Amino acid sequence: DPPLRDLADAKGKVIGTAVTGSKLTGTYGRIAGEEFNFLTPGNAMKWGSVEPTRGNFNWTEADQIVDFAEANGQRVRGHTLVWHSQNPSWLTNGSWTSAQLSQLMNDHIATEVGRYKGRLAAWDVVNEPFNEDGTYRQTLWYNGLGADYIAQALTAARAADPSARLYINDYNVEGVNAKSTALYNLVKSLKERGVPIDDVGLQAHLILGQVPSTLQQNIQRFADLGVDVAITELDIRMQLPATEAKLAQQGTEYEAVVKACVAVSRCTGVTVWGFTDSDSWIPDTFPGQGAATPYDENYAPKPAYSGIVTALGGT
């Protein structure tokens, strides 16, 4: 069978995975390099990872992933610049004026985006800005700067690397619902105001049996605003143990998600949030659940892998 990336290339789509830098050797490195044409660092580029103490930077893992991608002819989406989570404690524990917060955010973006200028395909600039009901999440950024932090962050990212595609990324926005409609209205207003926004990322941390029926329609409505759309963090979790029947259903659901993207020309592709069950966030966060990725813990491809193949036009 041709690797997933050959099938995706033939369709002009991205097939990506989140990766952990320290694991990019052996079987993990071989699969990451051979099967995917796109990488996203799972944690390495988060603020808490790159600037654990103020002014002291650690780019080791981030550099390693970008070097690996370049060696394998892959593109990278940086993840993530402005978020409420995985920030360094010096930042979250500080008490800042609005002017200081604005400066901190802009400097962070200039530093990190600037470091990789011209080398990254894209950045998740703003991550998870909304609550489930479509109101803005009360974060360090929102509380200090108001909703305008989003426009400020996008503008700073564009200035730091004009060649990178700029994303807003969120979860539970895959179907048409209150949260995705809030995101839709935000993107519409940013476009109207001329704020640089290129892409919407639908994370797609899904639950077996709950793929939204409005997924393709939702992708299409964002595309109709004049932005590209990507599925950025796909996984489909299940209650363990994983039975043959559940894994088969998961295969059908992976296929449906990838097909929904393939069906919309402005959907650029799909990234899975870890390609193996041995490198997935699910068991730590949802005890008793797992088996959410396309390969099992021993790197054997699951029906989910075959579902992606089918959706990308393979057999």
Binding site for ligand G3I (CB under 6 A): 42-43, 85-86, 127, 171, 203, 233, 281
Is residue 161 within 8 A of residue 116, CB to CB? The reply is yes
- Minimum separation from the CB atom of position 85 to ligand G3I (A): 5
Residue (129 or 309) nearer to ligand G3I, CB = 129
CB contact burial 260-292 (16+ within 10 A = b; e otherwise): bbbebebbbbbbbbbbbbbbbbbbeeeeebbbb
122 versus 312: smaller Cβ distance to ligand G3I = 122
Pairing of strands 228-239, 14-19: unpaired
Longest dimension (CA), the chain: 57
| Residue 170 Cβ vs ligand G3I, minimum distance, rounded to whole Å | 9
Q: Which is nearer to ligand G3I, 78 or 306 (CB)?
A: 78
Residue (11 or 23) nearer to ligand G3I, CB: 23
Of 211, 84, 231, the residue nearest 169 (C-alpha): 231
Name which of 64 and 189 has its Cβ closer to ligand G3I.
64
- Give me the least distance between CB of 4 and ligand G3I, in Å please: 20
Structure tokens at 5: 């990336």
To ligand G3I, the closest distance from the beta carbon of 42 in angstroms equals 5
Return the structure tokens found at 30: 């071989």
CB of 103 to ligand G3I, least distance (A): 25
Question: Residues 112, 233, 253, 255: which is the catalytic one?
Answer: 233
d(CA 61, CA 116): 13
Residue 33 φ then ψ, to 5°: -75, -35
* Residue 225 · residue 191 · CB < 8 Å: yes
Peptide bond before residue 92 is cis, with ω within 30 degrees of 0: no
Closest distance between ligand G3I and the C-beta of residue 169, in Å?
Answer: 7
- If the CB atoms of residues 102 and 127 are measured against ligand G3I, the closer one turns out to be 127
The answer to whether 229 and 202 have CB atoms below 8 angstroms apart is yes
**Helices and strands counted in the chain (H then E):** 13, 10
233 is an active site residue: yes
Q: How far apart are CA 108 and CA 111, in angstroms?
A: 5
Report which of 191, 211, 312, 302 is spatially closest to residue 251, judged by C-alpha positions: 302
Catalytic site positions:
233
